[in-house]
Structure 1
């Protein structure tokens, strides 16, 4: 699963990407297309539960969950019609599973805004409009093909055409597809299209150092908009986070304390991006390692086992499961067993965020 960082030019996307991947701070550039090919980075998802588990089951190493981030070049008005190499950039977005939209919520006369003024809602509308126009074009082209195939009596093509028409009607009402309810068959019929406005979205409000909590008027506008569409907002000062990322680990705490932060905003961002992707973690714990494994919300125990190795899913017998609360209460897995708190779950078990598991399987 991966998330794409998008936004207008000069909103701080690349600075944010470089900070969150600890690859160094980028200098703000007063030209639109400083990112031509999408940069990719693997980001650890901070999770204090790893530390708490390892305090009682002491391992040789800790392995956090990770997610993939893609830094996609700035989108401008007219991108859906090819402006600013728009079609190429939009194709990069089709390949990701969720969108992290960076919205500029700071004033700086030295960093030119592509529209000449800082207006986060206008920026959001520009991006959403371009994504909707791109989806309309892709669906209209696909509908022609589906209708031709449907004439031969192909049932799948008929279903696909009906699903496409449903999407087109929704988009024509100027509504993004993430708010459209499709049944499983309809969703499967159009899954390969990579529709842009169907992807979940998280807004990243890029603030200045005087508004680290994101309580200023510009961020509040973004929060109000996000609340209306069921999205979340994370305020981040990309410039500050880039500076923190360049420091040695031992120096970061002092820097954070000096600006009144308990932890880097990027920690919150990584966690919220993980949630936006519809992901959760379960853990395995032993002397070799304590590790967080990533599964979609709603995954079954066999599917979770398959994340470790495909043979685990194929030969799944059962899962032995306990919670971090159990571990902190009884102090060891042995005592959890003795207290009868170790649960045995079968193939239909739906994994819960934070489960600590052993899987039994046949090879």
Structure 2
């Protein structure tokens, strides 16, 4: 399963520094380092301490973590919705990603030019918001025209759709992003099918200076206040610092460096995990002598769907799943000990997989 987070931001906010730090970060497992698919797309391993524990218990030949893709999307300028700069390419790239990492400059530095002449995170955020909102309005206006004709003939579904479209139009015209709209489950289903840019889940990444990396600053507070209505997360990161952290090969040296700045883990690790959660993803594991492996699935998936991530045959011929929770695996130290303690359950097609389940599938094709 390949899901992408697009990194966006105005020029000179630290977007490319961040992407370059991601691209040079040494992945946890040597057999799945970061790799670049295209010049601006990179695959990064999702940090997960549970893999290390399973590795020490199972002692497999290899360990394969789960991954997530990041896309460095060209810097946006005002007027992108009308095709200014790389506008059309930028908006096309955003349309293709599953979630947005919006980098906002929250540091002062006379040596780094700001496109608008002064540091103003809320204004910066709103420049990008406006361009995306204008594009969404364009999409909605076209749909309203189309639906209005059908609604006139008395079509109930078209009338209902028209109501939602008008509600979206009003919301966007007020300068608000669709992700913050108050909508029912049915309305959200309809909205999802419109593929609107401002409906995509987002993390606002406040790029701060080294001094503000743990405590934050006034710029971060302004940004947090602004995004409240969107129910969005603000993460603090110092892109310049992350470049240095990513250059360490030695884990001990890296830990000492983080400690110096009062950090428990790198900002990139937090970002990768937060992106994973933002996409509503969870991890299950398979554990055997050949390999211990993490698999990515959507939260709420049932056992056959989870099996299908390994191979479509597993889903098609699914019989049952043997399941041990990660906590029990860690506690009892082995599959056989879990079995003896009655901690291995046999589950059928309706079983909803939990984050951290250690699973073995039985299937027949």
Shorter-chain TM-score above 0.5: yes
User: Post-superposition shift, 1:40?
Assistant: 0.7
Partner of 2:323: 321
**Contact 1:305–1:359 under 8 Å retained in 2:** yes
Partner of 2:110: 109
Partner of 1:31: none
- Cα 1:84–1:227 change in 2 (3 A) is same
Q: 1:50-61, aligned counterparts within 5 Å?
A: 50-61=51-62
User: Post-superposition shift, 1:71?
Assistant: 0.7
C-alpha distance after superposition, 1:112-165 (max 9, x if no partner)? 111111111111222212211110012212332344566788887666545433
Partner of 1:309: 311
**In structure 2, C-alpha distance between the alignment counterparts of 1:12 and 1:214, rounded to whole Å:** 19
**In structure 2, C-alpha distance between the alignment counterparts of 1:158 and 1:343, rounded to whole Å:** 49
- Cα 1:163–1:347 change in 2 (3 A) is farther
Partner of 1:72: 73
Q: 1:201-350, aligned counterparts within 5 Å?
A: 201-250=202-251, 251-350=253-352
Q: Secondary structure at the match of 1:113?
A: coil
Q: Does 2:5 correspond to 1:10?
A: no
**In structure 2, C-alpha distance between the alignment counterparts of 1:207 and 1:88, rounded to whole Å:** 28
Unaligned 5+ segments in structure 2 are 27-37
**In structure 2, C-alpha distance between the alignment counterparts of 1:130 and 1:10, rounded to whole Å:** 18
Q: Secondary structure at the match of 2:76?
A: coil
Partner of 2:32: none
Partner of 2:34: none
**Contact 1:38–1:72 under 8 Å retained in 2:** no
Please identify, of 75-84 and 45-54, the stretch whose mean Cα deviation from structure 2 is larger.
Answer: 75-84
C-alpha distance after superposition, 1:81-115 (max 9, x if no partner)? 22222222111101111111101111111111111
- Cα 1:301–1:181 change in 2 (3 A) is farther
Q: Does 2:43 correspond to 1:42?
A: yes
**In structure 2, C-alpha distance between the alignment counterparts of 1:127 and 1:49, rounded to whole Å:** 38
- Normalised by the length of structure 2, the TM-score is 0.88
User: Post-superposition shift, 1:228?
Assistant: 4.0
C-alpha distance after superposition, 1:226-274 (max 9, x if no partner)? 4443211221111111122233345433433443333221111100111
**Contact 1:38–1:70 under 8 Å retained in 2:** no
Q: Secondary structure at the match of 2:338?
A: helix
Q: Please provide the CA RMSD for this pair.
A: 2.4
Number of residues paired by the alignment? 351
Partner of 2:33: none
Partner of 1:134: 135
**In structure 1, C-alpha distance between the alignment counterparts of 2:214 and 2:124, rounded to whole Å:** 21
Unaligned 5+ segments in structure 1 are 25-36
**Contact 1:5–1:72 under 8 Å retained in 2:** yes
Please identify, of 236-245 and 168-177, the stretch whose mean Cα deviation from structure 2 is larger.
Answer: 168-177
Partner of 1:27: none
